Amino acid sequence: MRIALTVNGELHDTEAWPGESLLYVLRERLGLPGSKNACEQGECGSCSVLLDGVLVCACLVLGVQAEGHEVVTVEGLAENGGLHPVQEAFVEAGAVQCGFCTPGLVMAVADLIRRSPSPSDDEIREALSGNLCRCTGYQKIFDAVRLAAS
């Protein structure tokens, strides 16, 4: 079947099997590999995107459910060819090691700061509770969130 959805402000019309995930549609149909596929079970947050402004795991949403809706991926955060402030903060704070978790974390942090510009430590922990990182120990990620918020 064919589905139409807006991704990063651009309307796409693409083929999609009814059972495939939004993550598959983004990565394999639309050529947007920024959202990572690590668990495909809603456990790691590496596939986080905004669906109509709400942070979701793209692996848990069917592609057909995005029909007629707006998706923002990590590729859509950068503005005017420059990095998004959250991306800059991750680089500056040294919060990236292997980088596999980073796109999902960047999406989650950008969503947090949009909702709560000066988040408390508890808000940061809650907001990032769905994003797993196996490299950093999270301290640098916390530093990046505080830096981005400042």
Nearest Cα neighbor of 56 from 64, 45, 65, 67 is 45
Please identify, using beta-carbon distances, which residue of 99 and 117 lies nearer to ligand FES: 99
Strands (E), the chain: 2-7, 10-15, 48-51, 54-57, 70-72
Question: Which positions lie near ligand FES, rule CB under 6 A?
Answer: 37-40, 42-47, 57, 59, 96-101, 133-136
Strands 2-7 and 70-72: parallel
CB 124 within 8 A of CB 105: no
Structure tokens at 115: 């909702």
Which residues make beta-bridge pairs with 12?
5
Please identify, using beta-carbon distances, which residue of 64 and 135 lies nearer to ligand FES: 135
In angstroms, what is the minimal distance from the CB of 138 to ligand FES?
9
Please identify, using beta-carbon distances, which residue of 9 and 130 lies nearer to ligand FES: 130
In angstroms, what is the minimal distance from the CB of 144 to ligand FES?
11
In angstroms, what is the minimal distance from the CB of 35 to ligand FES?
8
Please identify, using beta-carbon distances, which residue of 44 and 112 lies nearer to ligand FES: 44
